Chains A and B, each alone.
Chain A
């Protein structure tokens, strides 16, 4: 048993460090493919769409402040339908974990450890996540809160310093030259925010679940704001046509950025150090959410027994893409399908819960709750 300990700030930190992750490297490429110079606008629209999804999840969580989505979905739509929905959620987050680990591995073996097998980098990261997820949700929130400033401050500094090479003309027209691809691009980029779904597991352990919407708003504003800034900075420095030829434009932006007085001539090494932390927190969240949801689905009091169990399965899934090109195709497709799970499904649950007047018990502040239930 542990008390409700997670504060609004911690919940927002969980959201920010979960959202900012491996996808940040390819983000400007997704944005310019969708709308050329309209990349920042597409990213902003994706942020709004993701916020709509997160609001639905938060609203549901506030209606059922003592339960996770695995439990309250059973009360809303019935046990068997909810089981299917929960199974999809668990499989989706396991796949998300595997793709995050694989993308991390590909970046590391391409940019830093060129002679290391990608399998080793993937296993190391998964093992790190598996060991870290063995503790409770309060520890989970503490770890995210600890890393939060280490992610945010350097990323903002690099984006700000890169602006000395910026050309505002590269950002015009702000709606892009081919607005036709905006919808697809919005969905692709909104998929990068899907980790925020982890809030469904955090709300039942929040001190004040009634303030969860505040955490959602600030979490999405900070993470989405940073994404828009990174896309705007990258496009303004390189221009949209140049970015289309780059696999990881944000990494190139860090290479092209130097500290004043050339103290550091290029910042890619520093950026990669921050990025590894960002990937860890994202992977940590999706891995934790997968095993936490499994323990709730099977009504278990412990989730740690699944931490090593899913490790080989996630690893095998991570190795399925044959190369980087195929990996990004899978990531884009899985991401768009995931929007059904992370936005449409909670939306359906919310509508049914309102129609059927289903609602959880209100919570007293600092009431004792079981760590898993």
Chain B
């Protein structure tokens, strides 16, 4: 089982962003790293100056680097950015919107979690066009994941395994809206919330996170308890989505559990203090509401035994 570090979804300061990737390159036990701004086209220019050194450092460390395409492409600027990405030399694109599928046909590429790959027929269609890796939509449950992986044994099927889960994308910017700004004059207020703006219900329950035009969960997906089931089902990579926490240590915990150096329960105990701000959830994989945490089979078994 491989580990993939997904793209940074939040608007981090360019220096923080660069240093984050430098440390990933130097220390994180991940095979693949996705770079590039996929959420908001207005943010991209800030990272461009650091992108070459980040990519060089990752490549020098032996990481496979993928360039994520924008999730929602509608403005002329966004179409241009997407076309430029597909035309760049020596770049492997992770497609997050089907806008660039045709221009990448026949060239190796990856399909990202924002493309609706809900079944084996759709996955097979993408593979015929040159997709070598497919990160499945986070809302898929285990039987669907297993059916897709079983149908495509030669493809790296990947599952979203750690981080606040992306739930929706809009043409409208909610950071701008809560700050009473227009989208075109947003002053990049999303940078004030490097881990997303917490949205609570009126009675104070943790609910969602706003990240500009994107809505994420408040809970943090954690599939550590299911990694061996996922491997058994033919899943070949797990995606760790960057949060404002020690992602190197998160990757090490996943690696240790995958390698059998520690058991899942021990790994979950180790993860909790690394990211104390968000409760864990794994509901989507277990076909229950996504915010929920399925009762662990192991603990159920032990309850029965006593």
Q: Are these two chains actual partners, yes or no? A: no
Contacts from B to A (Cβ < 8 Å) = none
Give me the interface of A with B, judged by CB distance under 8 Å: none
